[in-house]
Amino acid sequence: MTDDPVITELTSVLEQNPELLSLRLRVVELLADRERYADALTHCAVALGQDPGNATAMALLQRCSAALAGGASPAPVAAAPAVASGGTAAAEPAAAESEAPKSARGNGFDWAAAEAEVGDIIKPAFVDDDGEPLVVNEGDVGLFEKPKLSLSEVGGMQNVKEQLELSLLGPLRNPELAKAFGTSARGGLLLYGPPGCGKTFIASAVAGELGANFYPIEIADILDIHLGASERNLHQIFEVARRNAPCVLFIDEVDALGYKRSQMSGSAGLRTVVNQLLTEMDSATGDNEGVYILGATNHPWDIDVALRRPGRFDRMILVTLPDPDARVSILRHHLKDRPVEGIDLKAIALRTDGFSGADLAHIATSATQLAMADSLRAGAVRPIRMSDIDQAMTQIRPSTNAWFESARNVVEFANNDGAYDELATYMKRMKLR
């Protein structure tokens, strides 16, 4: 069978960036559409290894498994059962299950009573917002959100905040001063660092700080199997952002979209997408007034050099592992709407040096699943305790070690222009090199 050139290109990108979950799921969909179910299942297994509770991956797994077994493809599922580290399934009732008789819900557990009890434990966590929503073009409704948070709500990360203030927020708040010094906020800003450290969250906070629309884009929103469609998608995205300025256009996984053209093995498909991105960001060919372009990447060293030139992603900010204050803030965020008792956030933060924000979220989720499983066995709801946190932490290890291994090679052998001096200093201070 002659391989599909689009699948070949996307698979090549995945080989360089295996952590791109959304891209891998797109490859699974394309393989399934071409009835290449065995290949699709291989990628499904990798995807579920990265995110065991991913609903899309579970739905695709069921579809491909049913097809290989000769059965009809099941309808996509809305959610997949979460699995705690170590392989223990966490029983979580589906919406339809909540309508079933008590005898049909497993172990005779009274979910209605449990939900009422939990409702008494959890405090309301909603904050009234009296601000006026930004005007969004009627045809673009649903694409945007107006973030309610600001950088002051991002715990720790003081260095990142200072750099954002200097390179983006300061010039926008003081246009006359910026003009006097010959600076501006035009062009793009690239957030880079290990995965799971809050780059998307920070971009959303920047939009909230500016009172701007937030337009998050992933590579799956751009790439298409049809010739020329990816370029049209990218152009349309920029047009939508321009219509709804002021707008923070956030492009995640920029390294997959703007991969070095010199390393694409002669493939023309993604080359034209890179060229289109260059055109859209170029002030000479497009009016991006009021559109603030933020990109995020785990591998800035894989981005095409043309995208790093002035007027494009010419400024980089390193988003590192959360410091102790940030870890406290992240843990509080993930536990605040759950029934908890006697949780010492500072003690947990001291024990989780080297953990990413995603790792901390995983600890909170795993501890929650342990408390839920215990509540199910006992037939009575109990809150999440430090013992659940302790047990969860025995099962979870920092997930960023592989990234720092790659980064060590870059700062030691590929930093001739000093682009990664900040990363080198950080790794030396943290004794990561």
Per-residue pLDDT reduced to its tens digit, 209-256? 988 899 999 888 888 888 888 899 999 999 999 999 889 999 998 887
Q: What is the mean pLDDT of residues 170-192?
A: 77
How much is the pTM? 0.67
Does a structural domain hold residue 406?
A: no
Does a structural domain hold residue 271?
A: yes
User: Do 153 and 10 belong together in one domain?
Assistant: no
Q: How many CA atoms lie within 13 A of 251 on its CB side?
A: 25
Question: 431 or 70, which is more confident?
Answer: 431
Q: How far apart are CA 250 and CA 190, in angstroms?
A: 10
Of the candidates 28, 43, 68, which is a domain's last residue?
A: 68
What's the structural domain count of the chain? Answer: 2
User: Do 26 and 142 belong together in one domain?
Assistant: no
User: Do 175 and 33 belong together in one domain?
Assistant: no
User: Do 227 and 145 belong together in one domain?
Assistant: yes
Distances (CA, A) of 398 to 1, 327, 328, 407: 41, 13, 16, 16
User: Do 145 and 260 belong together in one domain?
Assistant: yes
Q: For residues 57 and 28, is the Cβ–Cβ distance under 8 A?
A: yes
User: Do 149 and 60 belong together in one domain?
Assistant: no
Question: Strand order of the sheet with strand 291-297?
Answer: 213-217, 247-251, 291-297, 188-192, 313-318
Which tokens go with 185? 């906020």
pLDDT, residue 80, reads 37
Q: For residues 164 and 151, is the Cβ–Cβ distance under 8 A?
A: yes
How would residue 94 be classed by pLDDT, with cut points 50, 70 and 90?
very low
Q: How far apart are CA 5 and CA 362, in angstroms?
A: 37
Q: Are strands 291-297 and 247-251 parallel, antiparallel or unpaired?
A: parallel
pLDDT, residue 105, reads 41
Of the candidates 289, 316, 343, which is a domain's last residue?
A: 316
Q: How far apart are CA 212 and CA 2, in angstroms?
A: 47
Here the CATH number for the domain that contains residue 161 is 3.40.50.300
Does a structural domain hold residue 296?
A: yes
Range of the domain at 227: 138-316
Q: What is the pLDDT of residues 37-67, one digit of tens each?
A: 878 888 887 887 777 778 888 888 878 777 7
User: Do 152 and 238 belong together in one domain?
Assistant: yes
Q: How far apart are CA 134 and CA 211, in angstroms?
A: 8
User: Do 145 and 285 belong together in one domain?
Assistant: yes
| % pLDDT > 90, the chain | 37
User: Do 149 and 279 belong together in one domain?
Assistant: yes
User: Do 288 and 151 belong together in one domain?
Assistant: yes
Here the CATH number for the domain that contains residue 14 is 1.25.40.10
Does a structural domain hold residue 302?
A: yes
User: Do 157 and 302 belong together in one domain?
Assistant: yes
pLDDT, residue 100, reads 39
Of the candidates 68, 84, 111, which is a domain's last residue?
A: 68
Identify residue 132 by its one-letter amino acid code.
E
User: Do 305 and 201 belong together in one domain?
Assistant: yes
How would residue 371 be classed by pLDDT, with cut points 50, 70 and 90?
very high
Does a structural domain hold residue 421?
A: no
Between 255-259, 287-291, 420-424, the lowest mean confidence (pLDDT) is in: 255-259
Does a structural domain hold residue 210?
A: yes
Does a structural domain hold residue 18?
A: yes
Does a structural domain hold residue 377?
A: no
